[in-house]
Structure 1
Amino acid sequence: MAASLPEGYEEIGRWDLGQVRRRVILLLFVLSLVAMAVTANVAIAITYVASGVSSISLDLGSLALGLVGGLALHEAAHAVAFLALGARPRFGAKWGTRFGPVLYASAPGSYLGRTGYVVVGLAPAVGLTVVLLAVIALAPAGGLIGSAAFLAVILNVGGSAGDAMMMRTVLTYPADARFEDTADGFTVYGPAPAG
């Protein structure tokens, strides 16, 4: 749960988007493209199994809904996980990052345990992806909702590459660490050294 910081804890680390090297950004971009291609093929396969249609039609309406919906739902998935853990999410956007413009959900002033923070970080990649694939399976093939969900799930998975990179870093900290999510990344707290 997002309790207050335990007594005797102090800042032991900090991570933010500005620390990510260009070659890591390039690698994340490539991994995102691969993940997006795999997800698109899975979504098309689900559409085929559910309706016998082996293609997705995207018109202007489904493109707009999928783009806006995918980005908003990705951050909403983080927010739902924050709320479930007792944190109060805040939303925002940053335009001049090394990743380009980004939307974010953060929870300043909330201190999550490592496991809880990983749940928040992976909520879109796991939870939202499953929900959107279910929508694709259940929505009429070629309709606005199914087509928008198709684009949204691809964008969600692509955007989750950065989350996965962050969570990989989170797992390098001790199990008793606490994490405060910020607009730029996170701050890590742990027990102060004795003495």
Structure 2
Amino acid sequence: MIFNDILKKFFYIYYNPRLVFIEINQKNLTVKYEKSAYRKYNLCFLNKYSKIKYYAYSLVDFLIEKTDIYDQYSDEDAEREGHFYRILSSFVMVFHIDVNQLYNKTCIDNKALALYQLSRNCVSPLNDKVRESYIFYLLYNAHLYSEQLDCLKFRKGVLFFNVNGKTYIPLKDMIKSIRLYKYQKHDNEFLSCIKNFYIEFINFLENGSDSPPLEG
């Protein structure tokens, strides 16, 4: 469960920013934090075959340049498709840590609070509004704003995406529909790992976890 490992590392850095971390390894994917100047902790995804590294803020470049959404979910509104990719970008920016400035530190605090609450929250129809509020709060602090948030809806414990202004599709189904423009084995395996990360993240947003992610 790569998302759980990343989540634990986020909280480790949040509480102990001087720690050094071992890489998270999957078959075709390496994920790690790299510390740069000015107390920035960049989450990066490494394609083990191509050796190309994608930082949290550029991973979606890979998706935009090499993939599209299955025709069933396509829409003539290019802006709405852009919102979908901005949401994917926000999902990885949740784990980008920059505590160089007070504003950035505040965003990190807000994300940590939302992740903590989402991990503990029970799922029930009565809890949908509360959980949706924490999801929006988390994503807003990961640089997702009103026009993209308006495309998301949390109903009966499921996170949906508005594909055309009227129709809502489970966000996990949208993720699963992403495919390469041109089949290349190594890119396809990398894409599969990235999709699994997103699906695990959505599972967390929808269901939380049995215990708060404060210990490894």
TM-score, with normalisation over the residues of structure 1? 0.28
- Normalising by structure 2, we get a TM-score of 0.26
